[in-house]
Structure formats: structure tokens, C-alpha cells
Amino acid sequence: MWQLLQIELFKIFKRPRTYISFGAVAALVGIIQLGLKLDGNMYIEFMLRDLSASFNIEGNILNGYLVCYIILQLLLVHVPLLITLIAADLISGEANMGTLRLLLTKPISRTEIILAKFFAAGVYTFMLLIFMAVLALFLSMAIFGTDDMLNLKSGYVVQLKSTDVFWRYVCAFCFAALAMLTVASLGFFLSIFADNSIGPIVATMSIIVVFTILSTLDIPIFNAIKPFLFTTQMIGWKGFFDVKVNDDNQAIIGSIQNPDRVLKAAGILVFYIVGLLVASIVVFKKKDILS
Amino acid sequence: MHPVINVTNLSKHFKDLIAVDSLSFTVNEGDVYGFLGQNGAGKSTTIRMLLSLVKPTQGKIEMFGMDLFTHQKEILKQTGAIIEKSDVYKYLTAFENIQLFSKVSGAGKLSKSQLLDQLAIVGLQDRAFSKVKTFSQGMKQRLGIAIALTHDPKLILLDEPTNGLDPQGIADVRNLILQLSKEHNKTVLVSSHLLSEIQLIANRFLIINKGKKLVEGNASQLFDPAETLVELETLDNENAMIKLQQSVWSSKLQARREKTIVLKMNKTEIPAFHQSIVHMEIPVMSFRPKHSLEDYFLQLTTINDDVATIAN
């Protein structure tokens, strides 16, 4: 199994297209950082225009932590596409190349192949997110410095002490990894049904778009299903940046306002991942390889 | 002779299409077994079932005395295969491809020199570190054969292994199959539409049509040495057909093709037939007795239909 996983990773990282995702993340993060470096103060003034009238806000507001939060909000919408490009190609791409049948003539069970490919997709997803974390968090900290982080909400602001932020990012990236692994699982599952990767990539993105629209539509009939859509739960990482407050309305260091909601969101994503993986194994074991 | 493959009553249905229909055959140890049939006859589907790529609708497959469905891994450890064209990872080098597949084929850890030796068997040692995307189809096919042989399998299944090869490539593959059979005592099942090639290498044959077995046996059993097909090409085939149907040779008529008329007769009758067509003043362009496997194959797979046409 370990050897199969190594082989799958070797194949993924030998393909030039794998690095498109890393290039795209680097370019997007770089563009946002450049824009904020050049014109970030105007952006902050605009965001704090209501608060500035009542409060005197001092310090390094546009610090690395806030920049990373802005980047995550923007990028986690687009990263699923980059994940899908690889995950939805893992089976269908091999079917298209004709290598799937050669692989299946070797003494390996189909379950082993699915598990190895799935874990390889997981490793790729984690590596892309680690790469993103390095650029979005550490590089931003290096460029913009650190200070307390202002989490701008509609109607209020959450002030997080600089010493209370880093662990929240670690958790947020772990949660984001879970969310992206859900997307990878969906793309991977759909790739079993096709003999070229275009179909599963388009199908995965279509499902994400439809689910996202359903998640954001405020129509009562859809409210019942919203909690069960993975797209609703994918933004659960933001929960790590909501804190409990004490009686003096001061943030309690190390707290999360609603940990149950974050756990529930993570649970639903894990349910999707396991469900899609089991479904992938069942379907693939029954599939006739005609490619 | 131990049976290496024993297929009993094997069928595969794709919805309404019956791809393989109650097929039974046996391949013995050391055989080079020619698996023949027209395109769509069910050869590839059968080979895919032997490799567990396609699930049979019914029937039993035993290989090396074990049931394929319960001992898949053990059987595949002893089997090498090429299915239609050899597709490998084009973005990897030949060496990376063979190294990758050797790891999953149960060959154990092979050293660099052992892998290069495998590539040398198929003449690719000089291109070992070139990307496969720069290879010709023939080179890819040879690489596919090298990959199929990495774990030293006892049984080799080759589905149309000469597809897309030039004449030299076809000859190379033919010689390699003979070498594997004679020098390394491998059992080979090979399907091909190049019947003349199969005739040169196979000791036993199976001919299928529309998923059904037509005939199985060795060359001497299949071809009646006393009988032959005679192909006649005339200036006016329509007139020649009428004259032959009215003659004593009418019972020998087998087929009328676009440019030729085919008859089946005893070899000793050929001189008399020759004289008859001169007497009947049939303007003959060519006169060819046919004894090859290809003729036999065509006789089995097409002539029955043609005879019905002639009768009509």
C-alpha cells in the first residue's frame, strides 16, 4: 500500500500540470499582497470608515494576519478548481491514457488502487494548502509584520490579540484541508465514471457552483437542506476567528465562540469524504474496464 | 500437458449485446495459442475477462488450476499482458515506466541493471532515459512487452500485439514470441487480425465469430490437407457464375466476392476443374488454390453467409 502511494505521488508530481496549481496560488497570493502593499491603507480606511468616526484605531492594522485572512476569503473559493484539476483526473486520466488497464493487470486489488490514489489526492491537497499557508501567512507576516488582528464583521469588529492568532490559523488551515479533501473526494468519485478528465472536472465544479448557490440563497424551502450541503460547511474555518467575550465584552484568549458548530461542520465534511470514498471503492470494484 | 487456462461456458453481455457467448477453451503449458476472430468477434473482451478487467456474465475461468475470481492476485502474479496498443505513461521515461510497473507486478525489488537488461531484451536500452512521448508506436509496443515480462510471468496474454507496427516491428514481435515460447518455456495466448503472422508462431488455434467458438485445435486438425479453396478471377464473373452453377462444379461453389469466385474441392480435382473452365470458355484472369490460415479463417467466418447468397 505504501509503495502504491509512493508510485501515485511520483506520477502526480512528475506531471507538469500539477505545478499549474502551485503557480496559480503563488500568482494570486502575490497579486493580492502587492495590491495591499501598494494601496492597502486606502482599503483599510474604507473598511473602517464607520468605526473611525467613533474610535481612535492605532497600530499596524494591515498586518500579516489580516492580509492572510483576506487572502483566505478570496482564495478558498478558487482553490477547489485547482484541487479538482488533479483529483478528477486520477482515474479518468489513466483511463484516457490507457494505463488504467495495464495497472489493473498487475496483482493489486482495485480497493488498494482506489485507496492509494485517494490518499495521493489527499497528500496533493495538503501540500497545496501548506504551500498556500506559507505564502499567505508566513510571507504576509514577513512583508506586513504582525500585530493584533481585526476581524471585520458586519456591524462589529473582533479584536484578536497577536499572541492569540497563530494557533487559529493552524486550525483554520486544517479545516480548509478537510474542506478541500471533500472537493477532492467528489472529483475523484466522479472520475471513476469517465474515460477523460474533462467530464468529471466540469461535473465537480458544476456541483460546487449549484451547492454554493443553494447555500447562499435565503429561500425558506432550501433552508432545510443547507446544513447538509458541503459547501455550507466549507466556510466553517471562519469559526476559529470568532471568540467568546467576558462580561466586560473583552475577548477571551484561546476561546472559540461556537466550537460545536465548527465540530459539526467538520463532522459533515468527514461524512462526505468517507461516503464518497466508500462509494468510489464499490463502484470501481464493479466497473468493467473497457478503455 | 497441464492446462494453464481453462475456460468453461464463458459469456459476457453488455445490455442487449452478447459479446462472448458460452465460450470454452483450454490453453496448455508451453502453447503458443492463436486466438482469431474478426473485429468485434469478442477476442478482446475474452482476454479482458482473463485479466479480471471485465466481469463475466456467466462461466468459469481457471488459470494455473485456480479459480480466477477467488485467486486473482496469485494468478496475475504469474501473468503478463498487453491489451491492444501498449499505453504507458508518456510523461515518464522508459526506465521510469518499467521501474514503476515492476514494483507493482510482484517482481520484487529489481536493480537498475536488471531493469536495463529487461529493456535490452526489446532493444530499448539506448532509449531507456528518453521520455516515452518521443517514442514511435513500435517502440511503445516493445516497451509494453518489456513491462509485461518484468516479473518473469509463466503466461503471457497478448491482445493484438502487432497493432500499429511496421513490417520490421511485426517480425520483431513474432521472433520475440517464438523466443519466449521456445527458450523460456512461456505459455503465450496471442490474438491478432494478422492471420499470416499467427500461422507462423501458433501451434494451436481458437477461431471465434460473434462471440461463439467456431473451432479449436492444432493446425493439422484444422486444415484438411486433402481439401483446398480455389479462388477464381474472371473477366466476367456474372457469366462465369451462371456457367459454374449449371456445371458439375455447382456443389463446390462457396462464395462470390466482388472480384472473385471461391470454390472448395479436393486437391486431386484441381486439374479436372482447370480443364473444365477452359471447356466452358470462362475467361480466367487468375486461378489460385489457397491453403493459408487466412483462407481457412475467411472460409469459416464469411463463406457460410456467402453460400446462402449463392443459393438465393
Question: DSSP string spanning A48-61?
Answer: THHHHHH----S--
Nearest CB to B106 within list A101, A107, A290: A107
A172-231 residue pLDDT tens: 999 999 999 999 999 999 999 988 889 999 999 999 988 888 888 888 877 888 888 888
Percentage with pLDDT > 70 across chain A: 98
B150 C-beta neighbours (distance < 10 Å), count? 23
Q: Which of B48, B86, B100 sits opposite A7 (nearest CB)?
A: B100
**How many separate helices (H) and strands (E) can be counted in chain A?**
14, 2
- Are A14 and B92 an interchain contact pair (Cβ–Cβ within 8 Å)? yes
Q: How far apart are CA B33 and CA A227, in angstroms?
A: 61
List the single residue in A7, A97, A288 with the smallest CB-CB distance to B104: A7
3-state helix, strand, coil in chain B (%, to 5): 40, 30, 30
The single-letter DSSP state of residue B71 is: S
Q: Which residues contact A291 (CB under 8 A, 6 or more apart)?
A: A95, A96, A98, A100, A101, A195
The C-alpha angle B30, B32, B33, rounded to 5 degrees, equals: 120
CB A125 within 8 A of CB A184: yes
**Which amino acid does the sequence have at B159?**
D
Q: What is the ipTM of this complex?
A: 0.76
Q: What pLDDT, on the 0 to 100 scale, is given for residue B312? A: 46
Composition of chain A by helix, strand, coil, percent to 5: 75, 5, 25
Of B73, B74, B83, the CB nearest to A101: B83
CA dist., res. B293 & res. B300, Å (int): 10
pLDDT per residue, tens digit, chain B (312 aa), is 688 898 998 899 988 888 888 888 888 888 889 888 877 888 889 999 999 899 999 999 999 989 988 898 889 888 988 887 778 888 899 999 998 888 888 777 788 888 888 888 888 888 889 898 898 877 888 888 888 888 888 899 988 888 777 787 788 888 888 888 888 888 999 988 767 778 788 888 888 888 888 878 776 666 666 777 788 888 888 888 888 888 888 888 877 777 788 888 888 888 888 888 888 888 888 887 776 666 666 666 665 455 445 444
Q: Do B55 and A286 touch (CB under 8 A)?
A: yes
Give the residue on A whose Cα is nearest the Cα of B149. Answer: A106
CA distance linking residue B209 with residue B38, whole number of Å:
7
The residues that bridge with B209 in the sheet, in sequence order, are B212
Interface contact B89-A105, CB threshold 8 A: no
Model pLDDT, residue B95: 92
Nearest alpha-carbon partner for B230 in B221, B222, B239, B240: B240
Q: Half-sphere exposure of A33 toward its Cβ, with a 13 Å CA cutoff?
A: 22
Take residue B148 and report the three cell numbers written for it. Answer: 509485461
Contact in structure between A150 and A157 (CB atoms under 8 Å): yes
Angstroms from B100 CA to nearest CA on chain A:
7
Task: Report the pLDDT value the prediction gives residue A217, as an integer from 0 to 100.
Answer: 81
- Residue of chain A whose alpha carbon sits nearest to that of B72: A107
Of A71, A83, A94, the closest CA to residue A192 belongs to A94
Q: Which of A2, A8, A14, A106 to mutate to test the interface with B (most CBs of B within 10 A)?
A: A106
Q: Within its chain, how far is the Cα of B310 from the centroid?
A: 29
The reported pLDDT for the residue numbered A184 is 93
Does residue A249 carry a pLDDT above 80?
A: no
CA distances from A208 to A181, A229, A234, A279, B208 (A): 13, 10, 11, 19, 49
* Contacts of the segment A217-222: beta carbons below 8 A, 24+ positions apart: none
Helix axis angle, A18-47 to A110-133, nearest 10°: 40
Contact of A290 with chain B, judged by CB distance below 8 Å, is answered with yes
pLDDT of residue A270: 95
Largest CA distance in chain B: 74
Helix (H) or strand (E) holding A210: helix A198-216
Residue B178 and residue B172 in contact, taking contact as beta carbons nearer than 8 Å: no
Dihedrals φ, ψ of A51, to 5°?
Answer: -70, -35
> In terms of DSSP H, where are the helices of B150-215?
167-182, 195-201
Beta bridge partners of B230: B263, B289
What per-residue confidence (pLDDT) applies to A4? 87
Please state, in angstroms and as integers, the Cα–Cα distance from residue A16 to each residue in A21, A86, A118, A156, B168, following that order.
Answer: 10, 11, 20, 46, 35
Task: List the one residue out of A194, A200, A185 whose CA is nearest residue A289.
Answer: A194
Q: How far apart are CA B148 and CA B101, in angstroms?
A: 9
The Cα-based distances of B27 to A288, B46, B187 in angstroms read: 24, 13, 8
Contact A97 B90 (CB under 8 A): yes
Give the helix/strand (H/E) hosting B258. none
Three cell numbers, residue A47: 473598511
Longest Cα separation, chain A: 72
A114: closest CA among A290, A281, A226, A250?
Answer: A281
What value, to the nearest 5°, has the Cα angle with vertex B159 and ends B155 and B164?
135
Terminal CA-to-CA distance of chain B, rounded, Å?
Answer: 47
Tell me how far apart the alpha carbons of residues A160 and B211 are, in angstroms, rounded to a whole number: 73
Q: Which of B20, B57, B89 to mutate to test the interface with A (most CBs of A within 10 A)?
A: B89
> What does the pLDDT read at residue B303?
55
Q: How remote is the C-alpha of A54 from its chain's centroid?
A: 36
Domain boundaries, chain A: 2-286
The residue with greater pLDDT, A276 or B114, is A276
DSSP code of A156?
Answer: -
